[in-house]
Amino acid sequence: MRRCVEQFMTELDHKLEYDSVHDSVSFWRTVNSRKRGSGADIGGGINFDGKMDRSREEITEQWAKYLKDLYTRSRSPDFDSHWEYIVRQEVEQAFTNLSPSQDVFVSLEMVESSINQLP
């Protein structure tokens, strides 16, 4: 049984790694399902860099480190500078077209509702 759980956790780790780069919808669906408790007890934790983290705080901290590393510029030969340039251009364009309005009010309930509707 222990071997099956370890195999499942290894496969889940690989799926998350792949999805974090190639399929963000599936990635967040998996993360949110585990965050909300669905399947959260299988294996008793998540393996990050060879260390099994079991508490919500440890897992949250490791996800934060992972995502920070994922979105931090790297000296890796695999880093795609051209893609970074394209994304930067798109973000700059999006912010250039923004015009703040003094008439807009966003309540806490609206934010919570929006977050709860995410996949």
> Could you give the angle at the alpha carbon of 49 between the alpha carbons of 47 and 52, nearest 5°?
30
Distance CA 111, CA 116 (A): 9
Yes or no: say if 31 and 119 are a contact pair by the CB < 8 Å rule. Answer: no
Give the per-residue pLDDT at 5: 66
Expressed as residue numbers, the domain containing 32 is 2-116
Yes or no: say if 85 and 93 are a contact pair by the CB < 8 Å rule. Answer: no
Residue 13 CB contacts under 8 Å (≥ 6 apart), including other chains: 46, 47
Please state the φ and ψ torsions of residue 76, each to the nearest 5 degrees: -60, 140
Q: Collapse the DSSP code of 77 into the 3-class scheme (helix H, G, I; strand E, B; otherwise coil) and give the result.
A: coil
The number of folded domains in the chain is 1
Per-residue pLDDT tens, the chain, 119 aa: give them.
Answer: 567 667 777 787 788 888 888 888 888 887 777 766 544 455 567 777 778 887 888 888 888 888 888 777 777 777 788 888 998 898 888 888 787 778 888 889 998 989 888 87
Give the per-residue pLDDT at 37: 57
